[in-house]
Amino acid sequence: MPVSSLPSRPVAELLTALSSGNLTSRQLVESCLEAISAQDDTIHAMVHVDAEGALKRADRIDERRRAGEPLGLLAGLPVAIKDNICCRHLPCTCGSRMLESFRPPYDAHVTEAIQAADGIIIGTTNMDEFAMGSSTETSAWGPTRHPDDPQRIPGGSSGGSAAAVSAGLVPLALGSDTGGSIRQPAAFCGCVGLKPTYGRVSRYGLVAFASSLDQIGPFARDAVGAALLLQAVAGHDVRDSTSVRHQVPDYRTELSRPLSDLRIGLIEDHFAEGLDEEMADAVRRTVHQLEERGASVRTVRLPHSKYCVATYYLVASSEASSNLARYDGIHYGRRADGCTDLMDVYCRSRGEGFGPEVKRRIMLGTYALSAGYYDAYYLTALKVRRRIREDFDAAFRNVDVLAGPVTPTPAFRIGEKTDDPLAMYLSDIYTISANLAGIPAISVPAGRSENGLPLAVQFQAPPFEESRLLRLADAVLS
């Protein structure tokens, strides 16, 4: 196994090599650091790299392995985490000047879980500012570029994590998904990205964007990697009131189950105007292949899906307006110099700290929550959200999983949509409904376009049925 290609190898292969002694954790971490050094000046997937700390943790794990001590699920695998997940030995900036100098005084639940599973956190990845974006162009630290074509975006807001896995900088990464921010960049970059059920993974230590929508999930090159990382971080956490007491299955053992008992619903509403023909063909082709392997297929309708974009941007922006009110120049974060009074502190600190997209969403959310407009906008959006969830409930009475596209098109060019917010928002048109409904969803590679860009298929399942999604991902990729 060539050392230079180690981070690009399937996770199952890496674990076998580690357990047999043919590979050490130090060698694997060194290979990741070499790949970052060689490629990341162009891609800009990483924001902070903890080379010294990662090597020290790798050496400790190698010592334990040589001593015959049992190791956790991740057994010395390097993991990158999105820059909105707290890790006490790394900065956490959320891609924003507002948190430019912030170092968390505590670890997020998922950070603790990775370390408890003997994973090695190698650094943090670039993202759209405060996770508000679909292209990783709004980061205060500059855009991340697509690993296959540096003139294109990797998707967002977890574009850094997707690009790092796709480019072979790390074998595993975590992102957060509020309206598609794991699945959309995974689709653009050609890797597996899974958004778990809301409440499956604790949000403790995740910097909030929209609290009723945010969920942390894994990126990997294969279903095994996604299954192991999800299993490592999932489970109840008393520090997050939305964390659910629900047993976490052994996701890896579920991968090999046959498909003969699965009923797949192809979402008819998603095959309409705006969907790229190559993307539509890739989805249909993938579903047909699953049908040949024993799954049954039928078409389904989600009647309220046409309201998803409007509903999402009212709910998400309203919650963002509330969550980001804490960045006032007083408690923590950026504080402007030379202010004359309290109002000046607030206005100048927020004006200097937040970028244009964050300001846009704060203003939209504040307007929707304001007196005289709350009932007409925010409350109405919550009622439509309930209808969207009911559509999924009705569909899942007849099928086990839903299939459709992840994105309307393959990855677009840098700068192509920055001046047209609506066009940018529509790149998440097929992903946001899963967040509104709180259900799990996964993006799985499904070939490439004529010009070589990754295509993908999305599967969605009832709450806490991530095993079904991972089983389908493994079947598609095997």
The catalytic residue positions are 82, 157, 181
Q: Are 61 and 71 in contact (CB under 8 A)?
A: yes
Residues for the chain: how many in total?
478
Q: Please provide the distance, in angstroms rounded to a whole number, between the alpha carbons at the two ends of the chain.
A: 20
**DSSP H or E run through 231:** helix 223-233
**From edge to edge, which strands make up the β-sheet containing 401-404?**
46-49, 120-125, 78-82, 172-177, 215-220, 192-195, 441-448, 454-460, 401-404, 263-267, 296-300
170 Cβ neighbours under 8 A, 6+ residues apart? 7, 32, 78, 79, 80, 122, 164
Q: What angle in degrees, to the nearest 10, is found between the helix axes of 11-20 and 223-233?
A: 70
List 401's β-bridge partners, or say none.
Answer: 264
Q: Are 159 and 128 in contact (CB under 8 A)?
A: yes
**DSSP H or E run through 79:** strand 78-82
Helix, strand, or coil (residue 135): coil
Query: What letter represents residue 252's amino acid?
Result: R
Burial of 161 (0-12, 13-18, 19+ CB in 10 A): buried
How does strand 172-177 pair with strand 120-125? Answer: unpaired
Q: What DSSP string describes 331-356? A: SSS---SS--SHHHHHHHHHHHHS-H
Q: How far apart are CA 397 and CA 400, in angstroms?
A: 8
CA angle, 81 then 323 then 220, to 5°: 20
